[in-house]
Chains A and B, each alone.
Chain A
Amino acid sequence: MSSSGIYQVAYYTMMMNLYNAMAVRIQRRWRGYRVRKYLFNYYYLKEYLRVVSETNDAIRCRRKKIASHGNQRKALEEFAEMKEREEKKANLEREEKKRDYQARKMHYLLSTKQIPGIYNSPFRKEPDPWELQLQKAKPLTHQRPKVKQKYSTSLTDWLACTSARSFPRSEILPPINRKKCQGPFRDITEVLEQRYKPLEPTLRVAEPIDELKLAREDLRRKEWLRNVNDNMFLPFSSYHKNEKYIPSMHLSSKYSPISHKEQFRSEDPKKWICDKDFQTVLPSFELFSKYGKLYSKAGQIV
């Protein structure tokens, strides 16, 4: 019995080690990605510095050339030439891209072994240059639907968008005399009503959990805006003088009345797993939130 227990423990340890090692690999990739995307990309910095030093060299070369010629007009001409060259290069690249895209779209016009394609007519001495382009092109696949990033919306946004405006509207209106679909289907207007019913959040969800705290912060902020003097109004004039208070014997002895917290509940800070206290939140009455809002007719109590 004990021997199988040992094997089980060993197996368990081995599997956990494997999982941890795999998790390390995954985390390594993820952390690298996160740091490069959001914090600092070392390779981008190196690339940037390389480009800057290249530009510097270009400017220094040009300056040396211009200084040796000693003519300002040359500078103007060279500058104009440089701009022209860059523009031409950009144009050529654009043309190349366009041609490539077209070749990919028309790639089915390539000639096969049996049938020569339209660009490879047997009456011509040599195939049209497009033929070669088509041979090089990769077939165009369907565009994959772009995954739209879903941003988490807060409740108020959703509340705003379940207004009447957010009814889905297609570009063309539905026909006036829409023939009823044959079959045991419900009335279309009822279905649409039910489908696009506006959100009616429960009381528990409608207000934020720490609403009281937020309201207090809000009030404090407004008061700070409004008040001219930030110093707290002290209750009496010699408040700032910190005279040591001499407590009464009753309070200064060891045998003082114990606080209620200690009386009813013992706390051990060493055992706490996080340092935040519980939030006082009232639980909701689930029953009342379902009141009158069930989907089926059978449950219609009201």
Chain B
Amino acid sequence: MSQRQVLQVFEQYQKARTQFVQMVAELATRPQNIETLQNAGVMSLLRPLLLDVVPTIQQTAALALGRLANYNDDLAEAVVKGDILPQLVYSLAEQNRFYKKAAAFVLRAVGKHSPQLAQAIVDCGALDTLVICLEDFDPGVKEAAAWALGYIARHNAELSQAVVDAGAVPLLVLCIQEPEIALKRIAASALSDIAKHSPELAQTVVDAGAVAHLAQMILNPDAKLKHQVLSALSQVAKHSVDLAEMVVEAEIFPVVLTCLKDKDEYVKKNACTLIREIAKHTPELSQLVVNAGGAAAVIDCIGSCKGNTRLPGIMMLGYVAAHSENLAMAVIISKGVPQLSVCLSEEPEDHIKAAAAWALGQIGRHTPEHARAVAVTNTLPVLLSLYMSTESSEDLQVKSKKAIKNILQKCTYLPALEPFLYDAPPNILKHVVGQFSKVLPHDSKARRLFVTSGGLKKVQEIKAEPGSLLQDYINSINNCYPEEIVRYYSPGYSDTLLQRVDSYQPLIN
């Protein structure tokens, strides 16, 4: 056989291999093929192709593996069990950028499914090579490596710590400053995943100087980037007061408030989350947010969203109002209460209603002025119905009961309290009657209104145990009125009158 014929055999084999690998890679893009591929044993066939002499075949084999592993965790586990990872990691260090991208894609696809798989990746020493990839010139390689690191760090604190120990954070901060938008997005998302687990990790991210760069990127027009940046800042700020202060010192206010009316829902939600995480720590931070006009901005944002996007905004108002009565008054004058009562009545989901109920309770609990501002908007009957309805979840019931109690204890606005006399269960009725007994002795117009609206009649019909607190309240209300009126409204008065008629001896003249 001539040399040419021998070489032709090899060429044919190479062509076959290339074709096979390309077809598999293409088939793996469609989910319906993957089951068939798996049953046909594609893993064991692809594995030796990773070590192929021809670089193109290696890259395409890696790409195919990545797509397969991306699909579900069984395949990812098969990748791990097939000892493919050490080979990938070894070749990652020396190959060209296409291979690096593909290999990083495989690592990402394997690492995203569960902490155990991510731990397997860490165990085979992939982190160091991925960090080396972060220093590469090609932005595509950096992006793939950053993405893989982000997915690994997402699962739990130990894996995040492993990523940090490999020295990824300073390089990620450098990646954020690169001009490519996709790279910035991925790097911001990776930093957010690292910082979310514990204060120490967040501190590491802050120490690498990430906050200043992230804060500058808030005004970038790209919506996905803003979404990741805001998420990263809120993960940093949520852990402690010092971290929140550091985020605030990066001068995000009032720029963040412009993000609150962005068209994208996720950007709005993340901006509300960031403001909530900052405002929840101390009264001073809440005051800073309110001084910058954050309360009005968040209220408008709540008005323009629906559903779960509203939740962080509602919680933020609750936290701000909970700190002090001045802040609660600031929320009230920013017209927060009507918005919250709209949320309470409109939203179908229980947890959002519970958050709105909690926030209203925090606003109304400070002084009679605050309780009046809440009661005027007619939210108390809504809260009562939520508390009494059997469909509400337990959390919603507990929160609405607490909110009602908090507001009732300070409420002196009697027109709002009157409906409660008719509907309320006994434990709430006690508080309502108590409030009446506090207000009525001092206000004559209110007394008259109480009689004419039928409140006195209702109070007489309440059965209370003698000596209980409720009886004391009823007695103090009765003491505000002359005896004849009290007797007139007491139940069974018409019977006693009729009895008197029966027993009356007419005067026969």
Contact = CB atoms under 8 A, between A and B. Distances in A.
A72 B219 contact: yes
Interface string A48-65: 110111011111100100
B296 A56 contact: yes
Given A52-B290, A66-B258, A66-B261, A59 B330 contact: no
Nearest to A63: B261
A101 to B, nearest CB: 31
Contact of A59 (B219, B297, B326, B333): B297
A53 B255 contact: no
A56 B334 contact: yes
Interface string B190-230: 00000000000000000000000000000101000000000
A52 B333 contact: yes
Interface string B229-263: 00000000000000000000000001101100110
A59 B290 contact: no
Given A72-B221, A73-B221, A76-B219, A56 B295 contact: yes
Interface string A18-60: 0000000000000000000000000001001101110111111
A110 interface: no
Contacts of B326: 45, 48-49
Given A72-B221, A75-B258, A63 B297 contact: yes
Interface string B316-338: 00000000001001100110000
Given A56-B293, A66-B261, A72-B221, A49 B300 contact: no
A46 to B, nearest CB: 10
Interface in B282-330: 290-293, 295-297, 300, 326, 329-330
Nearest to A56: B296
A79 interface: yes
Nearest to B220: A72
Contacts of A53: 333-334
A67 interface: yes
Contacts, number: 56
Contacts of A73: 221
A284 B475 CA distance: 62
Given A55-B292, A56-B293, A49 B329 contact: yes
Contacts of A52: 290-291, 293, 295, 330, 333-334
A55 B291 contact: yes
Interface in B96-155: none
A227 to B, nearest CB: 33
Contact of B293 (A48, A49, A59, A79): A59
Nearest to B296: A56
A49 B257 contact: no
Given A55-B291, A55-B292, A56-B293, A67 B261 contact: yes
B221 to A, nearest CB: 5
Given A59-B297, A67-B261, A79-B258, A49 B219 contact: no
B126 to A, nearest CB: 39
Interface in A63-83: 63, 66-67, 72-73, 75-76, 79
B257 A59 contact: yes
Interface in A223-240: none
A58 B291 CA distance: 12
Contacts of B257: 59, 63
User: Nearest 4 CB-CB pairs, A to B?
Assistant: A56-B296, A59-B293, A55-B293, A75-B258
Given A52-B333, A56-B295, 19 more contacts: A45-B326, A48-B326, A49-B329, A49-B333, A52-B290, A52-B291, A52-B293, A52-B295, A55-B291, A55-B292, A55-B296, A59-B254, A60-B296, A63-B257, A63-B297, A72-B221, A72-B262, A79-B254, A79-B255
Interface of B: 219, 221, 254-255, 257-258, 261-262, 290-293, 295-297, 300, 326, 329-330, 333-334
6 contacts: A49-B326, A52-B290, A52-B291, A56-B296, A57-B296, A72-B258
